[in-house]
Every structure is written in structure tokens, then in C-alpha cells.
Amino acid sequence: MIRDEILALCELSNDLFYHKIPEEKLSYYIKESLRLGREAGEAYSGKDILNLCEDNKIEIKYIKKSKKAYGVSFRAQVEMDKKHTKIWLYEGSIQELAKSSGYDGRKTLTYEEALKIHLCHEFFHYLEYTENEFVPEKLEKVVTLRVFNFTRKARIQRCSEIAANSFAKELLQLKELPNVYDYIYLINSGKISKEQFVHMIEGYESTIKKINL
């Protein structure tokens, strides 16, 4: 079982400005993103995500084939405008993920579980959009450039992904943040080795320890 803080850090490290985050601020972005997602999830506690989509008139489009771009397979996408929201689910890729989700004592996800994880994730982005409360905008900016008394600042966009995963975990009462399955899939499909994964997690574990999280 991998702690939320570590899986959140995995996600955060993919941010364009990750290296601009001062070390003492890492725990702020991790904790706040996890909290915002969790609290949004608690507000819908006990609700079924399929019903939530229906109640919110979100159209769900099931696409049979998997969509690949630059070697990365897409599993879900959301399309939003003022009037209408559509969530695209790529059944093939979700099926592949589900099949390759057993690892290290974890039980393999069913197709339906994998599907719901993706729906929850996209539903969280829908909430951000309709409430016009995007997670990165709720959090402090980081300084990306400082020259004399000129500073440039940016938002940490990945915080929205951490919160979406935290939302899915809360709503579906999962044991871990669901981005763990992204890595498990990579291991089980031979794209990364078990050693690489363990090494990566150990690295983040030591960062988490260092920042007392």
C-alpha cells in the first residue's frame, strides 16, 4: 500500500514547474490538493458516480477502440462548455488497465471499477469547471523567475490532478489514490521494470520523510 502523500508527489513531480517549488512548500501543495479533492468527495458520499453524471446531465460516450497518441493511451477525456458536458471513455484502454491492475497483493480491478475511477476523475474536473473553482487557482503561485525586482509566477496545474485522484479515492472508498494503477499498468505491461518503480517510490518516500509529511 502506498501512502497518498507519496502518490500525490508522483503526480506533482510531473508538473512543468515542479522544480520551482521550494522544498518547504511541497507539503502545502500536497496536503491542500489532497484535502480539496477529499472534501469534494465527502460532499457526495454514498452516491453512485453514474447517477451523479446522469443527475448533472453529463453525456457519457463509450468509445470501443483505444486512443493512442505519442505512445500514451487515453482512457478518458472530458469536453465542457457552458451548456453541455461530455465524458469520453475509451473502453479498450480502460479494459487494458483493469486487466493489468493486480500487483503486490492488490486485487485486480474489474472493468466497472476502472471505469468508475475514470468517471470520478473527470467528474471532479467538471465540478471545477461548473463551480469555476479550479484547484490550482485556489492555491498559491510559485515564483518561476526572479530578476532584480521583477518576478514571474505560475500556478501548479498538477494540483488539479492530485485533487481529482483524491476525489475518486474518497467517493469510491479506495484504499489508495488511483494513479497507483497508472504505474501498475506500466509494470504489468512491461513498460517499466518493478525495480524502476520501487526505486522511484523509495525516492519520493525519502522526500516525504525529509519534509516531515
User: Contact positions toward Zn ion, by CB under 5 A?
Assistant: 161, 164
Q: Where are the beta strands (DSSP E) in 65-128?
A: 67-69, 72-74, 76-80, 85-90
175/3 Cα distance (integer angstroms): 9
Cβ of residue 56: shortest distance to Zn ion, in angstroms? 17
Cβ of residue 125: shortest distance to Zn ion, in angstroms? 6
113 close to 121: Cβ distance less than 8 angstroms: no
- Closer CB to Zn ion, 108 or 157, in the complex: 157
- Closer CB to Zn ion, 142 or 164, in the complex: 164
Cβ of residue 143: shortest distance to Zn ion, in angstroms? 25
Cβ of residue 80: shortest distance to Zn ion, in angstroms? 12
Cβ of residue 150: shortest distance to Zn ion, in angstroms? 33
18/128 Cα distance (integer angstroms): 22
- Closer CB to Zn ion, 14 or 206, in the complex: 14
- Closer CB to Zn ion, 7 or 164, in the complex: 164
- Closer CB to Zn ion, 119 or 164, in the complex: 164
Q: How many CB atoms lie within 10 A of CB 91?
A: 15
CA dist list (Å): 84 to 57, 60, 93: 8, 11, 25
Give the pairing of strands 58-63 and 85-90.
parallel
